[in-house]
Copies of this chain bind each other. A is one copy, B any other.
């Protein structure tokens, strides 16, 4: 059976352009792609692409969920948004995976509504942090707030299973994000979660992980935290990373100012900035898997590029091939 992936063509800041281009670029991956959204808009972008578009079909959805707060209210009335139609394709077995760069809160709600839970716990959103070797997988980064200690244990199991299948790393090390290294540190939830995790069987729990280790490349494979904390950290990293790149840019221009040889070496000076951007670029990682549901589900960043969409498709293919979507 050929693998089929549904893409919410209308989700994200630059949709449908980036999603359609990402789908076209995925023609080499050997998967079928269903683009879901405004049929006219999508087809106009597929016209003339020839063989590059042979793996793509279109399913019409008349509306789009906005990125704002009221989306969740709108969802109650409107069942024909591109996101909801995409998710239903997975629920109905017409696709094995779905990616969206739309409203991530709505994606979690809709996924929970339509897709079956694969385990007992709450669905959870994870993402790779590219600073370490191997990269650490942080979850939850935004599917849940007000998590309980038991929820964090559930996240640890989902994250551990995902990591093991993903990377082949047997018995991945699991850490608990906390404000101190020692047992007994933290707030009420993390102190209790520590005790539960330490007793839990089938987990390689290695203790608390502090923010500094998480930022610098942690040496732990899976790090669990509440979605409020994880979401803020993930967004902070984006903002802070951009700020540092901006500072490097300013300082590089400063270093070159007035140098007669600057026109010849400008590219060489800019190379480290571009290479560093690539090293911390979430787009290389293609989005965040939503775990704990049947079906491979990637929630991509709202500002996802075509490259990010392509990588999400590539990753879902791997997930499904390895049976991780169940």
Which residues of A are at the interface with B, using a C-beta cutoff of 8 A? 68-69, 105, 131, 142, 145-146, 177-180, 182-188, 190, 210-217, 226-229, 231-244, 247-248, 251-252, 254-256, 259, 265, 268-269, 271-273, 275-276, 279-280
Contact = CB atoms under 8 A, between A and B. Distances in A.
20 contacts: A69-B180, A69-B183, A69-B184, A105-B180, A131-B243, A179-B227, A186-B228, A211-B234, A211-B239, A214-B239, A215-B241, A217-B243, A228-B229, A233-B233, A240-B240, A244-B276, A244-B280, A247-B279, A248-B273, A255-B272
A247 B272 CA distance: 8
Contacts of A105: 180
A67 to B, nearest CB: 10
B182 A211 contact: no
B255 A276 contact: no
A176 to B, nearest CB: 12
A216 B238 CA distance: 8
Contacts of A178: 232
A249 to B, nearest CB: 8
Nearest to A274: B251
Given A145-B186, A187-B146, A265-B265, A236 B211 contact: yes
Given A179-B145, A272-B255, A276-B247, A69 B185 contact: yes
B268 A255 contact: yes
A105 B226 CA distance: 23
A276 B242 CA distance: 12
Contacts of A234: 211
A252 B272 contact: yes
Given A243-B280, A254-B272, 7 more contacts: A145-B187, A146-B188, A178-B232, A179-B232, A217-B239, A247-B275, A252-B272
A251 B228 CA distance: 34
